[in-house]
Amino acid sequence: MLGILVTNLGTPDAPTPKALRRYLAEFLWDRRVVDVPRPLWWLILNGFILRTRPRRSAASYRKVWTEEGSPLMAISRRQTDKIRTELSARLRREVPVVLGMRYGNPSIAKALEELHGQGVDRLLVLPLYPQYSGSTTASTLDAIAAAVRRQRDVPGLRFIRDYHTDSGYLDAMAASILEAREGRPAAQRLLFSFHGTPLRFRSEGDPYYQQCLTTARGIAERLALKSAEWQVVFQSRFGREEWLRPYADETLVRLPGEGIKSVDVVCPGFSADCLETLEEIAEENRHLFLSAGGESYHYIPALNDRSDHIKALAGLIERNVCSWLD
């Protein structure tokens, strides 16, 4: 039987210091995320970060928490349900589609157990990261390998590495931007803000940076934007190491002084809105821009469970499983 595992980064179970401590301990201990030598990193993580950061992070999560839980969890569940419905209609059969988070709950291991219990012996994995990075996509594969290592009967496995040039995804991104700009003048500059990674990862062979540029260029072409009307920036850096530049916050502080008084910001690397988009981009960076002399700032939401996004993801899955169909 064919089954689909949809994955994303994950989220704490609650906006509390205790839940954040548990989540951050799992997330930040992943060698794909932080590759500092383990003895040194254990001391830093347990002696400082997990003593201070959970309280601050919990306060941030409380600002965006909903009755359904974290935005990422609520949206990911809706995406999974809609992908299941769309895919079953396309394939004219019921297909198990299960959500598993790389960190936190529901875990990837738990999702694989559920699929195994339904008799799945051909598994397609769709990490909802349009652009590949070792710190996200490869880490997902690590978790899958660790989980199936305990199984006697390992399923046939296909893994969607990235979809940063997928036409359905790019078309949906362009459509969402046009809709957000409907009824108002377009901003002077459209910023494509991607999650940052340490600059060192790029020199070590991670293709993430180049894929981000390719995605942004593909969307800009669909919108017929001139080169001066759009720009790529990187957000959410952590620690003292240099990360991919230009930094989103520094760019937004600088732009008003260069005569750019209105900006639209979109985050094509996030398939679902989460803390990094709703709190950092939509709120914190908006304040930075307006305080620096900017006049108009609009955050354009992630694709979330828009119908064109769901159709694009279902189409991506369909193309990757067609040879598996009886």
- In the block, residue with structure tokens 């609650």: 14
Which amino acid, one-letter code, is at 70? S
Burial of 40 (0-12, 13-18, 19+ CB in 10 A): exposed
Annotated ligand binding at 279? The verdict is no
Q: Residue 297: enclosing H or E segment and its boundaries? A: strand 296-300
217 exposure class (CB count in 10 Å sphere: 0-12, 13-18, 19+)? middle
Helix (H) or strand (E) holding 143: helix 139-148
Q: Is the C-alpha dihedral spanning 226, 302, 232, 222 positive or negative?
A: negative
116 is in an annotated binding site: no
Q: How many whole angstroms separate alpha carbon 284 and alpha carbon 243?
A: 19
Locate tokens 């594969």: which residue? 141
**What single-letter DSSP state applies at residue 2?**
E
Q: Which two tokens stand for residue 309?
A: 């996004």
The whole-angstrom separation of Cα 52 and Cα 326 is 54
What residues are designated binding site for Fe(2+)?
Answer: 195, 276
What residues are designated binding site?
Answer: 195, 276
